[in-house]
Structure 1
Amino acid sequence: MFSKVLVANRGEIAVRVMRACKELGVRTVAVYSDADKHSGHVRYADEAYNVGPARAADSYLDHEAVIEAGEKAGADAIHPGYGFLAENADFAAKVEESEMTWVGPSAAAMERLGEKTKARALMQEADVPVVPGTTEPVESADEVKEIADEYGYPVAIKAEGGGGGRGLKVVYDEDEVEEQLETAQREGEAYFDNASVYVEKYLESPRHIEVQILADHHDNVRHLGERDCSLQRRHQKVIEEAPSPALGEDLRERIGEAARRGVDAADYTNAGTVEFLVEDGEFFFMEVNTRIQVEHTVTEQVTGIDVVKWQLRVAAGEELGFEQNDVEIEGHSIEFRINAENAANNFAPAPGGELETYDPPGGFGVRLDDALRQGDDLVTDYDSMIAKLIVTAGDREECLARSERALEEFEIDGFHTIIPFHRLMLTDETFRAGEHTTKYLDEELDRTRIEQAVEKWGPADAESEDEADEEVTERDFTVEVNGKRFEVSLEERGAPAVQVPAGGGSGNAGGNTRSRPDEAEEDDSETVAVEGGEQIAAEMQGTILSVDVEEGDEVESGDVVCVLEAMKMENDVVAERGGTVAQVLVGEGESVDMGDVLVVLE
């Protein structure tokens, strides 16, 4: 086993990985940006290194900075968590070339499964069902029409290098074929430097089912059952559960074994997720996520298998210690993503602020994965997640009842969260019956019900008051020497309260001592001149896939101004009101952080 692991991530997933390391007797190394110098994952780690300014492209996404931190720390391995560099084959290859071990599938396997037509062909060879369509690129409208004549409209034209819906065009009749084909090819070339497209039958109301797998370097492949991730908002999962309420035992067994076959054929190792679409009792391969998933927790709860520990063990060369027949699914588990968002305002992220009250639930069957504590400031540069609430019980009915109790107990003050939305879902007949599809939230749920839920269960006043004059009684400081973080604690009896200087910190490396740091100074290293007017900002950290407006364009409320990709999901950024585009501050391919101004209207 490794002696020291660098976790190339932040927030709750970084703490999750570090907890697994500590239980294995492995020391942990955190990396952090200037915005995260007081964050929970930094406090929790045994040691920590600054890798750059707040902007993710200059810190968490900086290959050289992260690898250099690992080398300085003397780390044996790098675990990427999810997001950021987790599915970056180039970064994985650089780690493989270093003296450190990459905790994940090989760079070659990541590349092999990244091209959709090759992945489809590989799965077909392994007798894994794929959505009916082509496994070779198509070039003409006539080829598309032939596929549509065989399988029926609608069909989907997809960019071979696409993801998150970009380069995807749905064709409902013959008259649309030529235009949509040209658009998909053009987008594939623009966004992925690959104009190749393929065609498949379009599934209109599927379930999103994914299978957790583990594979070692000794030719052992195991699946850990399935998760249902069908409750989604604009392709973003909000509630996940295991097992799926929509699968019978026969379909459950077939989809699990198909995932095993596909992964085995891909010469894949470590943890991964094989994603499927299920409709009318049939299942079809969609893609493989070559990393740990946000929702891995529900699989752990119903199997009793620590997926992250096995990631580390497999990377260290160990053989999986259980057979497929040893994997048993017991009970039911649901994960609720606790995001700082206002569900009544189209899930707009909170602007940040202090966690005035943070009192999570407890009790039998309740698990919480987080990195924040009461008094912490919410860092909004990257995403809006505060925590993940995972509730487990003997069956789904009991799990729903326990979830109602846990969400009612969960108290967070200082800004809006989506807890009211989750409480609404637990009263929703379609969700409780397990009959929801991927289209339910966006196309069927009455939005006035969400507004009523926020009014009923949301914070009375989500705007936190400034507490600039609050006294700090502890003399705990953070200092950096050559980019490495050190904690210095001073205690002096009878001394007057002091103001912690900018760069000061709180707590110790073990995360046991807590104090409240003053608000950090603004990082003006990325200052952008923004004219007055309506500012349209990024709702999450990600990459700009397209910019759909130019200066001088007239837009109306609801018009898409650009498309942001985050964790393989496409997110339309829309204007909240009409106006004239005064400034466009981003371009295609640029990385942005949550809160970055993208477009200004006048």
Structure 2
Amino acid sequence: MFDTVLVANRGEIAVRVMRACEDLGVETVAVYSDADKHGGHVRYADEAYNIGPARAADSYLDHDAVIEAARKADADAIHPGYGFLAENAEFAAAVEATDDVTWVGPSPEAMEQAGEKTKARSVMKSADVPIVPGTTDPVTDASEVEAFGEEYGYPIAIKAEGGGGGRGMKIVHGPEEVSDQLDAAKREGEAYFDNDSVYLERYLENPRHIEVQILADEYGNVRHLGERDCSLQRRHQKVIEEGPSPALSEELRERIGKAARRGADAADYYNAGTFEFLVEEEDREDGELLGPDANFYFLEVNTRIQVEHCVTEELTGVDIVKWQLKIAAGEEIDFAQEDVELDGHAIEFRINAENAAEEFAPATGGELATYDPPGGIGVRVDDALRQGDDLVTDYDSMIGKLIVHAGDRSECFARSERALSEYDVEGIPTVIPFHRLMLEDDAFTAGTHTTKYLDEHLDPERVEAAQERWGTDAESTDTDGDEETVEREFTVEVNGKRFDVNVEESGQFAAVADASGADSESTAQRPTRGRGDDGDDGPDVTADGEVVSAEMQGTILSVDVEEGDSVAAGDVICVLEAMKMENDVIAETGGTVIEITFSEGDSVDQGDPLVVLE
């Protein structure tokens, strides 16, 4: 087994991996951006290294910076978690080329073959795994999309090869949308996955999303650990996952599981991975399941650990992350396929800092004035934040995961309601009210929901009512109750390595410090949280006129106007990426562009002026 593992990620998944390492007696190394100096994963690790500014491309996606941190720490393995570089074959190859450092994951060749969507489709087809009609070669020109539409009809899904979770996927409903959506898919692929290659698929109108967890070693052993149902999604982002699926018959479950194993064999795949499928929903009577003849199609392979891997761990008792480490260290899987049994039912609720009543708008900042997660039998919480932490908004909006396990689905729902009611978060909005609503929703409780349910069928007024009923105040409050004792945390960096020093001052010393105006922020020169910049108030505006400002923190993906252009109300000024979603910034009124304060690739804060109109 390894001595030291560097976890090339952040937040709850970094802590999850570190806990598995600790169980194995392995020391851990964290990496962090300027925005994450005070992150939970940094606190948890044995040591930590700064790898760059808040912008992911300059820190968590910087191959050289991550590998250099591993060298400094004498780490003998790198675990990528999920997201960022987890499915980047080029990075995996760079790690493998580094002396005395092991990549915890599938080989770069397997990642390219199974993880890049067009190659994976070819491999699955050769293994007799059903695939959705689509292209097996990358698409570069709008005419190719139009030709596909003429042959198979609309809508069409344009997907980034490196994408996942709806990122890098655009839906084309007609020829007039082809050019814009193709450009947008390529742009997202480049921004998030350093790969602008895209492919096409016929877009299924009414599918369920079923995925199979795979573990495989380098000795030819391939095991599947059952399926998870991830059909409850908003804008292609999963929000609740459960297992086993409430919709599949045993015969269909077995067919899909065998298809996943065939696919893993054909791809020479080892370590952990997830084979995802779309299952076409049918008209069913109450209690009726999808039979063995139901249509299912291969969707993609996620060549990494999944956010929802916890569901499978609760059902099987298999620690998937520990097995990732063991397999990477050369160990052989020691259980047979027939040893895998699914015990009861499990559900995972993603606890996102979002307001579901405002179309799941992500929080733009705030402090966790109260953070008190639930407990009790059958309740697991994976998180990294603690009470008093500031919310970092530079990356995704997930602050934790609640996983509930019970003897059957009915008991799991009852236990989930109890756990969600105990989950006390104040200072930022969360989707907990939405989750509580879903436990009372007829379609979800009956297991007849599809991936389109939230976006096309759920009544928004029900979500608003749930937010009013169960939501908490999003405003942070001062919770300090002891004015005579002041604890100050100083953060010191030496050659990029982080050291924390805590000093407690009480009585007259605390009073003197407060009176002099010296606090932990000024004394320690602690960096501003969020973007990790120098804390200014954004760009200055020199022209007089109507100012169009950023509604949220994010990164400018494209600039759609130039100075001197005339715009009408509703015209797109720029495209702003926030929380891994593209957002059009539009002009509220018409006018002439007389000043632009930003460029493509710039990071902006909420309220920053972007354009001045005359």
The TM-score, its normalising length taken from structure 2, stands at 0.84
Aligned-partner Cα distance in 2 for 1:38–1:141:
46
Quickly say closer, same or farther: Cα 1:90–1:249, change in 2 above 3 A.
same
Does residue 1:242 correspond to 2:220, yes or no? no
Does residue 1:401 correspond to 2:429, yes or no? no
Match of residue 379, structure 1, among 392, 396, 402: 392
Aligned-partner Cα distance in 1 for 2:561–2:210:
36
The answer as to whether partners of 1:157 and 1:197 remain within 8 angstroms in 2 is no
Aligned to 1:70: 70
CA positional deviation for 1:573: 0.8
CA positional deviation for 1:359: 1.2
Quickly say closer, same or farther: Cα 1:189–1:46, change in 2 above 3 A.
closer
Runs (5+) with no aligned partner, structure 1: 506-516
The answer as to whether partners of 1:478 and 1:485 remain within 8 angstroms in 2 is yes
Aligned-partner Cα distance in 2 for 1:347–1:199:
28
Secondary structure in 2 matching 1:353: coil
The answer as to whether partners of 2:527 and 2:534 remain within 8 angstroms in 1 is no
Alignment of 1:329-368 (within 5 A): 329-368=342-381
Aligned-partner Cα distance in 1 for 2:11–2:151:
46
Aligned-partner Cα distance in 2 for 1:42–1:364:
29
The answer as to whether partners of 1:502 and 1:520 remain within 8 angstroms in 2 is no
Q: Deviation string for 1:42-89 (max 9, x for gaps)?
A: 111111111122222222222211111111111011111111111122
Alignment of 1:127-206 (within 5 A): 127-135=128-136, 144=148, 147-148=151-152, 153-154=153-154, 156=156, 158=158, 161=161, 163=163, 164=166, 166=168, 168-170=170-172, 176=175, 200-206=201-207
The answer as to whether partners of 1:277 and 1:283 remain within 8 angstroms in 2 is yes
Alignment of 1:506-545 (within 5 A): 523-525=532-534, 529=539, 531=541, 533-537=547-551, 544=557
Shifted more, 303-312 versus 492-501: the winner is 492-501
Shifted more, 547-556 versus 353-362: the winner is 547-556
Aligned to 1:512: none
Aligned to 1:389: 402
Secondary structure in 2 matching 1:354: coil
Alignment of 1:216-231 (within 5 A): 216-231=217-232
Aligned to 1:60: 60
Alignment of 1:173-572 (within 5 A): 176=175, 200-280=201-281, 281-459=294-472, 461-465=473-477, 473-490=486-503, 496-497=509-510, 498=513, 501-502=520-521, 523-525=532-534, 529=539, 531=541, 533-537=547-551, 544=557, 552=565, 554=567, 561-562=574-575, 564=577, 571-572=581-582
CA positional deviation for 1:355: 1.1
Aligned-partner Cα distance in 2 for 1:249–1:322:
22
The residue identity in structure 2 corresponding to 1:436 is H
Runs (5+) with no aligned partner, structure 2: 282-293
Q: Deviation string for 1:549-577 (max 9, x for gaps)?
A: 6664646569795374977xxx3414487
Shifted more, 490-499 versus 12-21: the winner is 490-499
Does residue 1:121 correspond to 2:122, yes or no? yes
Aligned-partner Cα distance in 2 for 1:553–1:88:
42
The answer as to whether partners of 1:500 and 1:518 remain within 8 angstroms in 2 is no
Q: Deviation string for 1:337-383 (max 9, x for gaps)?
A: 11111112221122222211111111111100011111222222222
Quickly say closer, same or farther: Cα 1:374–1:78, change in 2 above 3 A.
same
Q: Deviation string for 1:226-252 (max 9, x for gaps)?
A: 111111111111111111111111111
The residue identity in structure 1 corresponding to 2:336 is E
Question: What is the root-mean-square deviation of aligned Cα atoms in Å?
Answer: 3.4
Aligned-partner Cα distance in 2 for 1:318–1:225:
22
Aligned-partner Cα distance in 1 for 2:244–2:392:
33
Aligned-partner Cα distance in 2 for 1:49–1:237:
31
Aligned-partner Cα distance in 1 for 2:296–2:477:
51
Aligned-partner Cα distance in 2 for 1:142–1:450:
38
Quickly say closer, same or farther: Cα 1:209–1:20, change in 2 above 3 A.
same
Aligned to 1:578: 588
How many pairs does the alignment contain?
574
Does residue 1:88 correspond to 2:97, yes or no? no
CA positional deviation for 1:315: 0.8
Secondary structure in 1 matching 2:486: coil
Aligned to 1:508: none
Quickly say closer, same or farther: Cα 1:188–1:35, change in 2 above 3 A.
closer
The answer as to whether partners of 1:349 and 1:539 remain within 8 angstroms in 2 is no
Q: Deviation string for 1:301-326 (max 9, x for gaps)?
A: 11111110011111111111211111
**Identity over the aligned pairs, expressed in percent?**
61
Shifted more, 548-557 versus 354-363: the winner is 548-557
CA positional deviation for 1:434: 1.0
